Structure 1
Amino acid sequence: MKTIHIGGVPEHFNLAWYLALKQGYFKKAGLNVRWEDYPSGTGAMTKALRKEEIDIAVILTEGIIKDIVEGNPSKIIQTFVQTPLIWGIHVANNSSFNTIDDIKGKKAAISRYGSGSHLMAYINAKNNNWNIETDLQFEVIKNLEGAVEGLTQGKADYFMWEKFMTKPLVDEGIFRRIGNCPTPWPCFVIAVRNESLELYKEEIIKIIKIINNITLNFKEIPNIDRLIAERYSQKIEDVQEWLSLTEWSQEVVNEDTIDTIQNQLLALNIISKKLEYSKLVTLI
């Protein structure tokens, strides 16, 4: 039996995958599924897709679009989280930066080039009318732990990461959040390597049906807020706020959304060309 390898960030957005595995839903459907955590995020997952280490990625929308434009042999098959990702803009607690204006021209910590933290620094710059050429600098820090080290040691000045995952670091007095920057589009999609889709289409359809059945009623799962709080070291009130702001999807991302994202990435020189919808998205 073919093992289907799925990659994603080890964050509360992906709890449905953990529950499906823990409760044996894939196994009962005759599927052999392995989940791979990618704490450093999008750039690591696009690399894993290219190297054939994973078949499926639950990945930031803008990140996988950029990488497919650059030749990643994969397609988006579905939106996973419909609502925007709220990126917190963080500085070291003892830094002198207090506003977004204070970090203009300063060094952004990013997990890697092509990552969400890298791309969203451009979106934040655009939102604040900065000069993309002169007002952005980067320091690669790999992951959240690297960001803590980078900001506290002064290697970088600010760091953008999902607001609720970084909230414990704010509560501990390690980071201060000086602003938010929501993605202007649905934040997570499911992408599949073209070869995997060709060879294991029936298995992938079954996997998607199982996960969609969980996300459809995710908020109604008994004590889901407590489960998330315990698993991801969050305060219950933060989890409840996050749940109120988050909506999953079981639909294919539409052409207008793909066009809007590509236009934005093109305007920021993050991509050098646009692809047709059918080159980025496929129906299964």
Structure 2
Amino acid sequence: MPPRTRISCAGRECAETPTVDWESEVQLVSSLAKLQELERKIHELRQCIPAGILSPLAPISTSNNPSDQAASPSTLHHGLEIAAREGLANIEQFQSLWRSPELKPVWDHVQTRINESNGQLVQPTGMWEKDYASILAHLTTTKQSAEEDRLRQEEETERAKALSSEGGWRSVIERFSQRDLPGVHIIRSKNQDKPEFAVTLARAGMIFLLEGTREPDSPGVANWQVANKVASGRSPTKLELAILECLDSRPRKWDLAFLLDMISSYAEIKQTPCAKCTKLTNNAAQLPVIRRVQPAEQPTDSTQIFSFNAYHPDCL
């Protein structure tokens, strides 16, 4: 999201205006696409009067069918009323779009360019020569693909580093335990060489079993699987199953530090409100079981701590 600048207007505070990078190709194409869409809507609105509003009368004026011409005045009035309301709604929608905060910097930039060119039209042909919506879609897809490739490469580098790191998964558990998070405890397996242990969430009353699987000829754990441990004779609750489903769908399945931080985010699940609606339960009396990782800042050392936001399923 672009940074925002707050502007003071004659003693009162104006709305925040986004700072726009007009050197960005995506920004320029996006702005042109918005202007192009506005012109398309203008041509549509030109059909509103008289053709659009008087459309209910068209069958009477063009048809030789007596049944069409015999429409009652109340029927005609109802049809005209609906057409007028739809036309007015389209006009109001267009005005809202034209005056929206999103388009304000575009209009300011257009006016600046016109002033710089001494009033000459920015597009001298007077017509659109390209479909900027299609160009924008291509640029967006290309940018998104490049970003996904970058993130994938970064993750592969992190994964390779984690698998070959000294101490491996044991050192990750040790660093996590040293943080001494309230209500979160590690229970180690009797077999210290086996990548298997439990995480208890005392306040939430839950226990999760973690087991690592290895790849052939790989020194580290390639994937961590999570299971829910319940008392004998008791079935998992809906809440426990929902949390387990969320844990199973997580990214970075190789990253034990990520998994431990994600599990610990449920330690206070009965007190943690949804990051979007700010409520603890939704209309279906559900707790916010979904977790979305916050953008991580560059760690100052080799230890990276992940933070998560909580959401209700219907808030995403």
- TM class by shorter chain equals under 0.3
TM-score (norm 1): 0.20
More strand by share: 1
| Relative contact order, higher structure (CA 8 A, sep 6+) | 1
Larger radius of gyration: 2
TM-score (norm 2): 0.19
